[in-house]
Amino acid sequence: MSTTPETALEPARRSAVRSLLRLWPYVRPVRARLSIAAFVAIIASCTGLVIPLVLKWMVDGPVADRDPAGVWLGALYLLLLGVAEALLFGFRRWLVARPLSHVEAEMRADLYRHLQRLPVAFHDRWASGQLLSRGTTDLMLLRMFLAFPLTFLLVNGVTIIVGVCIMLAQDWTLGLVVLGPAAPVIVMCMMFEKRYARVARLAQDQVGDLTTVVEESVLGIRIIKGFGRHRSQARAFRELSRTLRGTELGKARLLATIWAVIVSLPEVAVGAALVVGAVQVADGDLSAGTLVAFLSTALALRWPIESIGFLLAMSQEAATATERYFEVLDETPEDPAAAAAGAANGTANGAGLRFDNVRFRYPDALSGSPPLLDRIDLHIRSGESMALVGATGSGKTTLTALVPRLHEVTEGRITLDGQDITAMSREELRAMVAVAFEEPTLFSASVGENVLMGAAQDAGREDLDRALAVAQADFAHALPQGTDTQVGEQGLSLSGGQRQRLALARAVVGQPRFLVLDDPLSALDVHTEAAVEAALRQVLADTTALIVAHRPSTVLLADRVALLSGGRITAVGTHHELLRTNAEYAHLMSGHDGGEDHESHADGAGHEEDHR
């Protein structure tokens, strides 16, 4: 089971370097500290290479001359060099800690802001677990890359070059012996990089799939327990875990292979150099101190060489994390063409809410398939309430979602008081239009905070109490901490009717000019519904409203009714007029529609089957 968009599963074509270069805008503000940290690390690493030279001086000088004072002096030099190396590496860590945490925070904030601006169609395509993994695991990998591999690929490279130069200066024949494995190691690293990139990307996508399953299991725990599906969910989780485990083991095998090559070949070369050097010392062609210095330098280069394998692995993981991060950031937050067209069209005559030859087809619909909404022409006059009625799957929720631009119209335009909504900023538009959905969503916050999300920043207690009264949500005052009570994730500590009333309160608290209600009373009992309708009539008297309705009682809230059928508005009139003149409307109001329409954008996944 995979919840990753198909485009995200394909291996990236670009090189790791090209992918990682996209991080530059985030790294640029802290480049000075990172550069200083890299320079300090190079100095620290090269300080370690001075130690073999001190050893050479000690062996060929004080040790050979049996000079105790010289030996103690050499020991002091070694101690000072070791302390200096440790202090310099510690200073490097201090230099990078704060700026890299800032880079990670900025990238996470940009991702979150961008997700808020992306259209609903994007969120319908992408599993939430994939987005969560990009904002957590992937950003952690990027911070680790910037903190360690980015610096030490450079530091170790410089260290190896300096160390090789020192060894060649000591004895060029031994230097050539040690350099013998360089060519095969480079070839192996190139082969490893390509193979590891594919496996790393697969593992990160599988982590996203696993995160999705965990999140869905937590949010849907009532369904899982209610239907006794915990064993099947556990099996699905185990399957994904087993798949991820196999991928991670594949990564480990690749890393073990390259590490074995990188470790073993240089060790063999050092062993060969030791044999050759010992022979030269025995023949008097090489001093013992020179051999000690040469071998000490070679051993000092073990870590820079051996670390290449996992530094390359971390870099590849960072490159795939960068690709995954920018896959989301590269998504267009809005349709510039639609906005430009709206701005060009300017304003239209007629106050209120108007749909003018509106067509809509989901972006992922099959080419050539008929539009879900076709040539919608509807005018809701200023101050008027219009009920929208239609069979299950007719597209009522989709039509209402076009008003606040949760989806963009394919053709035609929608105007509010004569102004094309695509000519407005989304902030301006959504300040004018309030929405209440059939499936209410509450956040992990207090009752008051959830309701006041629909109000201006300066809204206060009076606005909250008024909205709760309109929605017949006075139960909030009886909660343990009143309206300061935390409702918990998704508001699941409340009943469905309570959540729906709070969502309705959120829609009316800001006294919007335009109100879009998607069957807002479906979860209420008859008596509560009557009380809410009585209070809602007062609100509707001062606003322009579009109300998706299934019950005659909800229809009666509206001044007129529009019938949506076959993707078009086929009839408009009062409730009583349509009952007399329209058989389809009379049938829908008779209650034989086959159940209430629980249409949400989740049905967008099946819109092609419903409307072909």
Give the model's pLDDT for residue 379. 92
Please indicate, yes or no, if residue 161 is contained in any of the structural domains: yes
Same domain, 169 and 276: yes
Please indicate, yes or no, if residue 397 is contained in any of the structural domains: yes
Task: Collapse the DSSP code of 320 into the 3-class scheme (helix H, G, I; strand E, B; otherwise coil) and give the result.
Answer: helix
Task: Collapse the DSSP code of 358 into the 3-class scheme (helix H, G, I; strand E, B; otherwise coil) and give the result.
Answer: strand
Task: Fill in the amino acid letter for 103.
Answer: V
Same domain, 349 and 322: no
**Could you say which of 297, 329, 361 is where a domain stops?**
329
Same domain, 317 and 443: no
**Could you say which of 268, 298, 329 is where a domain stops?**
329
Please indicate, yes or no, if residue 476 is contained in any of the structural domains: yes
Give the model's pLDDT for residue 605. 36
Give the model's pLDDT for residue 335. 52
Would the pTM of this model clear 0.85, i.e. be above it?
A: no
The CATH number assigned to the domain holding 432 equals 3.40.50.300
CB under 8 A, 24+ apart: contacts of 38-44: 38/92, 38/151, 38/154, 38/155, 40/88, 40/91, 40/92, 40/95, 41/88, 41/89, 41/92, 41/151, 41/152, 41/155, 42/154, 42/155, 42/158, 42/159, 43/88, 44/84, 44/85, 44/88, 44/89, 44/92
Same domain, 344 and 291: no
Same domain, 193 and 264: yes
Closest to 399 measured CA to CA, from 378, 382, 419: 378
Q: Residue for token digits 């809509």? A: 360
Rounded Cα distance, 282 and 288, in Å: 9
Q: What angle do CA 473, 477, 483 make, to 5 degrees?
A: 90
CA dihedral 277, 282, 285, 287 (to 10 degrees): 70
Q: What is the mean pLDDT of each run of 10 residues along the chain (612 residues)?
A: 47 67 89 87 84 79 75 84 86 84 89 85 81 87 86 85 84 80 77 80 84 76 70 83 88 82 79 82 80 82 79 85 89 57 46 89 78 89 90 86 86 89 83 81 83 78 85 85 80 76 84 84 72 77 86 85 90 90 88 42 38 34
Please indicate, yes or no, if residue 504 is contained in any of the structural domains: yes
Give the model's pLDDT for residue 350. 55
Beta carbons within 8 Å of 367's beta carbon, 6+ residues apart: none
Give the model's pLDDT for residue 599. 38
Same domain, 315 and 346: no
Give the model's pLDDT for residue 147. 85
The CATH number assigned to the domain holding 224 equals 1.20.1560.10
* Phi, psi values for residue 546, rounded to 5°: -120, 120
Number of domains forming the structure of the chain: 2
How many of the other CB atoms lie within 10 Å of CB of 64? 13
Give the model's pLDDT for residue 38. 86
Please indicate, yes or no, if residue 9 is contained in any of the structural domains: no
Rounded Cα distance, 485 and 462, in Å: 18
Please indicate, yes or no, if residue 74 is contained in any of the structural domains: no
Residue 341 domain boundaries = 336-611
Same domain, 429 and 525: yes
Same domain, 311 and 374: no
Please indicate, yes or no, if residue 274 is contained in any of the structural domains: yes
Please indicate, yes or no, if residue 198 is contained in any of the structural domains: yes
Give the model's pLDDT for residue 388. 92
Q: Residue for token digits 């594919």? A: 198
Same domain, 512 and 606: yes
Same domain, 423 and 511: yes
Give the model's pLDDT for residue 502. 85
Same domain, 220 and 124: yes
Same domain, 253 and 384: no
State the pairing for strand pair 353-360/411-416: antiparallel
**Could you say which of 329, 355, 390 is where a domain stops?**
329
Please, are residues 515 and 387 in contact by the beta-carbon 8 Å criterion?
A: no
* Phi, psi values for residue 543, rounded to 5°: -145, 170
